[in-house]
Amino acid sequence: MYDCSKGQLLKMNILVINCGSSSIKYQLFCMETKQALANGTAERIGSREAFIVYKKGNRSYKLESELTDYFLAIEKISELLLNPESGVIKHKDEIVAVGHRVVHGGEEFKNSVVIDKYVLKRIKFYSKLAPLHNPPAYNGIKAAMRIFPKIKQVAVFDTAFHQTMPQEAFVYGLPFDLYKKYSIRRYGFHGTSHRYVSDEAAKILKKPLDSLKLITCHLGNGCSISAVKYGSSVDTSMGFTPLEGLIMGTRCGDIDPALIGYLMREEKMTIHQMEELLNRKSGLLGISGKSNDMRDLLVLAQKGNKRAALAIDVFIYRVKKYIGAYIAVMNGVDAIVLTAGIGENVLMIKERLEQELNNVLSHKTKILLIHTDEEKLIALDTFDLINGVISSSK
Binding residues for ligand ADP, per CB under 6 A? 220-222, 249, 293-295, 340-342, 345-346
> Cα(222)–Cα(171) distance, rounded to whole angstroms?
22
CB of 295 to ligand ADP, least distance (A): 4
Q: Which is nearer to ligand ADP, 35 or 221 (CB)?
A: 221
> Cα(218)–Cα(342) distance, rounded to whole angstroms?
8
> Cα(378)–Cα(85) distance, rounded to whole angstroms?
28
CB of 271 to ligand ADP, least distance (A): 26
Cβ atoms of 41 and 54 closer than 8 Å:
no
Active site residues: 158
CB of 20 to ligand ADP, least distance (A): 10
Would you state the torsion angle of the CA atoms of residues 194, 279, 119, 73, taken in this order, to the nearest 10 degrees?
A: -100
CB of 259 to ligand ADP, least distance (A): 25
Q: Which is nearer to ligand ADP, 135 or 341 (CB)?
A: 341
- What distances in angstroms separate CA 110 from CA 282, 352, 375, one per listed residue? 32, 35, 18
Q: Which is nearer to ligand ADP, 16 or 294 (CB)?
A: 294
CB of 191 to ligand ADP, least distance (A): 14
Tell which residue, 225, 155, 229, has the closest CA to residue 394: 155
Q: Which is nearer to ligand ADP, 23 or 86 (CB)?
A: 23
Q: Which is nearer to ligand ADP, 20 or 140 (CB)?
A: 20
Q: Please say whether the dihedral angle defined by the alpha carbons of residues 14, 338, 134 and 41, taken in this order, is positive or negative.
A: negative
User: What does the buried/exposed string (b/e) look like for 70-83 if buried means 16 or more CB atoms within 10 Å of the residue's CB?
Assistant: bbbbbbbbbebbbe
Strand pairing partners for 102?
157
> Cα(214)–Cα(202) distance, rounded to whole angstroms?
9
**Which amino acid is residue 161, in one-letter code?**
F
Cβ atoms of 383 and 95 closer than 8 Å:
no
Q: Which is nearer to ligand ADP, 13 or 18 (CB)?
A: 18
Q: Which is nearer to ligand ADP, 185 or 251 (CB)?
A: 251
Residue nearest to ligand ADP (CB): 341
> Cα(300)–Cα(241) distance, rounded to whole angstroms?
31
Would you state the torsion angle of the CA atoms of residues 197, 220, 382, 6, taken in this order, to the nearest 10 degrees?
A: -90
Cβ atoms of 18 and 26 closer than 8 Å:
yes
CB of 310 to ligand ADP, least distance (A): 16
CB of 223 to ligand ADP, least distance (A): 8
What is the enclosing helix (H) or strand (E) of 279? helix 271-280
